Amino acid sequence: MIFALMITALLIFPAAFLIVLGDGIDPVEQAQKIARSHARNTRDRSQLRARLEELGRGNQKEYEIFRIRQFGYSAGAVAIGLVVFTITSQTSYLVLPASIFLGALMFVVIDKELSRDIKKRREVIEAEFPAIIEMLTLAIAAGETPMSAMLRIANSSNSHLAKEFQIVVAEVRTGVPLNITLDAMGRRVKSVMIRRFVDALVTATLRGAPIVEVLSRHAIEARGNQRNRVMAAAGKAEISMMIPVVFLILPISIMFALWPSLTNLNMFAS
């Protein structure tokens, strides 16, 4: 009963407050200002800005939108948990802890969803890396500069790595040196394969080493890594395919093989 009164107060008091204030204040705008203020002042313990930057959403607005969504969904889960657990639960002292646990679970789920998107993006970049580096090698071997080759790939492809090349070209056009922009791309795309490629390309650019040979070695290595990933995925798929065979098809086959014998034995026993 106490929790029901608390929920009613939470719903009635804000509405009464808005009625008293009148139409001079937009409640949605005020709620957005408060949410942005809290999101801006929240400490970034989970390196959220760096993770959003890896997805191309590293500005302040994207950070605030993600925090508002995370905190808003968590608060909504707590409110729904209070209502549902108050109505259905017989033990009132467990309602508040269960609702808080539901809100914390929603908070963690949204954070894990971001981590899953980052992991998926890394896998996509590493999968398209061999084709992109081969295109870069062919363009440079044909006489183009690294900048023009990256620009050609950025204009002819819609892949994630091509978009990273587009960012590199845009920064170089603003006056930033090529090695600094490539190093920033390597830090932004947190992949060991991309990091090694960027380091080799920066070293070859600064020391005047033949870039085509460096890129050719990385293309061969990238194809080998891709082949290893495909073989590992095939091994996992083979193991997962054994589960229905062992636990479904094999028992049914054994049952069909033994059922006539068991029936005859029961007839002889009777």
User: The pTM is what?
Assistant: 0.65
State how far the Cα of 130 lies from the Cα of 148, in Å rounded to an integer. Answer: 19
C-beta separation of 149 from 136 below 8 A: yes
Residues 94 and 8 in one domain: yes
Number of domains, the chain: 2
- Which pLDDT score is estimated for 210? 80
- Which pLDDT score is estimated for 5? 45
Residues 173 and 216 in one domain: yes
Residues 193 and 104 in one domain: no
User: Which residue in this structure is represented by tokens 């990933």?
Assistant: 229
Residues 58 and 77 in one domain: yes
- Which pLDDT score is estimated for 26? 52
Residue 82: is it exposed, middle or buried by C-beta count within 10 angstroms (0-12/13-18/19+)?
buried
Statement: residue 4 has pLDDT above 70 = no
* Residue 257 is assigned to a structural domain of this protein: no
Q: Give the Cβ contact number of residue 198 at 10 Å.
A: 21
Least confident of 47-56, 65-74, 103-112, 162-171: 47-56
Handedness of CA 221, 225, 227, 228 (dihedral sign): positive
C-beta separation of 103 from 78 below 8 A: yes
Statement: residue 139 has pLDDT above 50 = yes
Q: What is the mean pLDDT of residues 140-148?
A: 84
- Which pLDDT score is estimated for 18? 47
Statement: residue 254 has pLDDT above 60 = yes
Statement: residue 215 has pLDDT above 60 = yes
**Residue 129 domain boundaries:** 123-227
- Which pLDDT score is estimated for 38? 57
**Entry field: residues in the chain:** 270
Residues 198 and 219 in one domain: yes
- We report the CATH number of the domain holding residue 166 as 1.20.81
* Residue 171 is assigned to a structural domain of this protein: yes
Residues 107 and 157 in one domain: no
pLDDT tens track for 48-83: 887 887 777 777 788 888 888 888 888 888 888 888
Residues 6+ apart with CB under 8 A from 150: 136, 165, 168, 169
Helices within the chain (DSSP H only): 2-21, 27-41, 48-54, 60-88, 95-141, 146-156, 160-173, 178-188, 192-207, 211-244, 250-269
* Residue 144 is assigned to a structural domain of this protein: yes
Least confident of 36-45, 90-99, 123-132, 204-213: 36-45
pLDDT band at 13 (very low <50, low <70, confident <90, very high): very low
CA 105-39-30 angle, to 5 degrees, is: 110
